[in-house]
Amino acid sequence: MQQNRDPLGRSIEPPVDAHELSVRFAEAFCASDLDALATLLAPSFHLQGPLAQFENSRDYLNSLLEDPPEPAPCRIIRVTGSGDEAAILYEYGRSPSPLLVAQFNRVSRGLLSEPGWSSTHLR
């Protein structure tokens, strides 16, 4: 059995399922824990969002190193899904205007391979 490795080549144990992976990703992102994020991303990671596009996990992580997310509270509202797909709704940030994030995740071999999200400020 082939072992999963993070983008830095470290051996990792993947989360159990897409549901757990989605929660771990949201919590690591909100905490600005880039080491934890690195252990969750598949080598085949691909992101095409409204502000940026990344073809692999290394480029995504490098962009976060250059401009890391501000550590802020994370409140998980709901997670749903099955198998290799999950959707999570969470708040990122402090009141009075936290960011509401809706994220859909695809998982490959227990690691995040294709996230997609939308967000808006709560008032």
pLDDT digits (tens, 9 = 90+) for 9-59: 766 665 568 999 999 999 999 999 999 999 999 988 988 776 788 999 999
If DSSP states are collapsed to H, E and C, what string results for the chain?
Answer: CCCCECCCCCECCCCCCHHHHHHHHHHHHHCCCHHHHHCCECCCCCEECCCCEECCHHHHHHHHHHCCCCCCCEEEEEEEEECCEEEEEEEECCCCCCEEEEEEEEEECCEEEEEEEEEEECC
What pLDDT digit, counting tens, does each position of 55-68 carry? 999 999 999 999 99
- 44 in a structural domain: yes
Domains contained in the chain, number:
1
- 6 in a structural domain: no
pTM for this structure? 0.82
Q: Domain range for residue 88?
A: 18-121
